[in-house]
Structures are given as C-alpha cells and as structure tokens.
Amino acid sequence: MKRFLVSLVYALEGIRFGIKTQRHLRFHLVAACLALVAGLWKGLQPVAWGLLVLLIAAVVAAELINTAIEAVVDLVSPLPHPLAKAAKDTAAGAVLVLAAAALVIAIVLFCC
C-alpha cells in the first residue's frame, strides 16, 4: 500500500507540473470544465457522459504525455536538432488530432 501511495504522489506531482508549466493543458482543462457544465445544461444521457469524460481524460492524458516527451527531448538534446524538433512536433500533432476529434464528438453530443 505504501508503494502505491508513493506512486500516486509522484503521478499527482506530474499532473501539477503539467498544469503549472503548460498553457495548452490549462486551456484544455478550462475547455473540459465548460464541456462538463454544458453537459449538465444539456442533460446528457449516461452513455454520452461516459464518452465526454473519456474524451476529456484522453486529451488531458495526451497533453501530459506530450509534456513528458518534450521534457525528455530537452534533457537529451539541449541544442536544437532536427530529430528533437520532429519528436516534439509529432507529439504535439498527436494532441492536436485527438483534441480535434474530441471537439467533433462534443459537437455531435451537444447538437444532436
């Protein structure tokens, strides 16, 4: 149990680091709060709630993974390098793809 709690603390520290240092993560969290309020206002059905929460978690997790990739790239390649740029750009692109898909699905959930 102690190891689990230690791991939980480390994970929470990672989330806090992401929130403190990544403006895109903060943007996604604000958007998530707005989506949750809109879900309450719209009176979403349980399956729609599940999908909405899953999408929010996926986008936030993708942003945290992107942050981790950027940190590792900065650590191993402090000087500009084409492969470092490719790694960072690709990770950011993955977040963009997921966020765009989440937006489309949210529009369907709220408009239909």
The whole-angstrom separation of Cα 25 and Cα 2 is 30
Q: How much is the pLDDT for 65?
A: 98
**Could you tell me the sign of the dihedral formed by the alpha carbons of 24, 27, 31, 32, in that order?**
positive
Residue 67 one-letter amino acid: T
63 classed as catalytic: yes
Q: Which of 18, 63, 91, 99 is catalytic?
A: 63
Tell me the percentage of the chain whose pLDDT exceeds 70: 100
The whole-angstrom separation of Cα 20 and Cα 28 is 13
Place of tokens 């809109």: 38
The whole-angstrom separation of Cα 105 and Cα 85 is 30
The residue-averaged pLDDT of 71-95 equals 97
Give start and end residues of each alpha helix (H) in 22-81: 23-42, 46-76
Average per-residue pLDDT for the chain:
96
The residue-averaged pLDDT of 52-65 equals 98
Q: How much is the pLDDT for 112?
A: 78
Quick: pLDDT tens for 68-82.
Answer: 999 999 999 999 999
Reported confidence tier of residue 8, pLDDT bands at 50, 70, 90: very high
Angle, helices 46-76/23-42, rounded to nearest 10 degrees:
180
